[in-house]
Amino acid sequence: MKMPPLRPLHWLLFIAIAALFFAWGVWLMRASLPEPTQPLSWLDEWQAQVLAPLADDGLTVAKLNALAEGDIWLQPRLAGGPQLVYRGQWSTDGEPWTLEAEVALTQAERDSLVSATGIGANDAEQPLSEHMLSQLAEHRIAGLTLLPSHEVSSARLSGTLGEPRLRLEMAQGQAWVYPQWGLTVHIEDDRLLLLHAVPRRALQQR
């Protein structure tokens, strides 16, 4: 039996159905694709203003305080005398982070702290005055730790800094090492737990 010829209306209907199927297929493909990883945009600034100077053993308390305001804490320590720690909290792009950095001290300065404060190895840590912060402005930072107060995927870190030069298996998770910046990152279950940065020479000696 001969089929009747297709009318223009039929062709328009076929085209509309084909267009709907095509649009549906495109939507399914986009829905199945993973969302692009958002880099840690602030880390570019930190790399230039914090990580690079720290790697060269040139980061001071004043420079760190200008980027992230904080306080100085006196911590007792069994070996070598007390230490001073710079602590701050800040939020970037709506994401909170906690910072802790050790202030480099000579043994004479540690002994002086014991004499001035009377702190013992078993005493509780204590905050120091803002005046102390200004006195320590030109002291170097010996090491710095950043801890996210929210979940950060490891892909966001590698998307910002690139792949690490070295991956070390740990009892829990991995250590990603970026020796060019004196940076070690603790990763567990594809999540960033902390970043720890030291002068480059200190990392090379380990």
pLDDT in tens, 93-109: 778 899 999 999 999 99
What's the pLDDT at 46? 87
pLDDT digits (tens, 9 = 90+) for 38-91: 778 888 888 889 999 999 999 999 999 998 899 999 998 767 789 999 999 888
Better pLDDT: 80 or 163: 163
What's the pLDDT at 77? 79
Q: Is the pLDDT of residue 11 over 90?
A: no
What's the pLDDT at 33? 41
What DSSP assignment string belongs to the chain? Answer: -PPPPPPHHHHHHHHHHHHHHHHHHHHHHHHHSPPPPPP-THHHHHIIIIIHHHHTT--BHHHHHHHS-EEEEEE--SSS--EEEEEEEEEETTEEEEEEEEEP--HHHHHHHHHHH---TTSPPEE--HHHHHHTTTPBEEEEEEEESS--BHHHHHHHH-S-SEEEE-SSSEEEEEGGGTEEEEEETTEEEEEEE--HHHHHT-
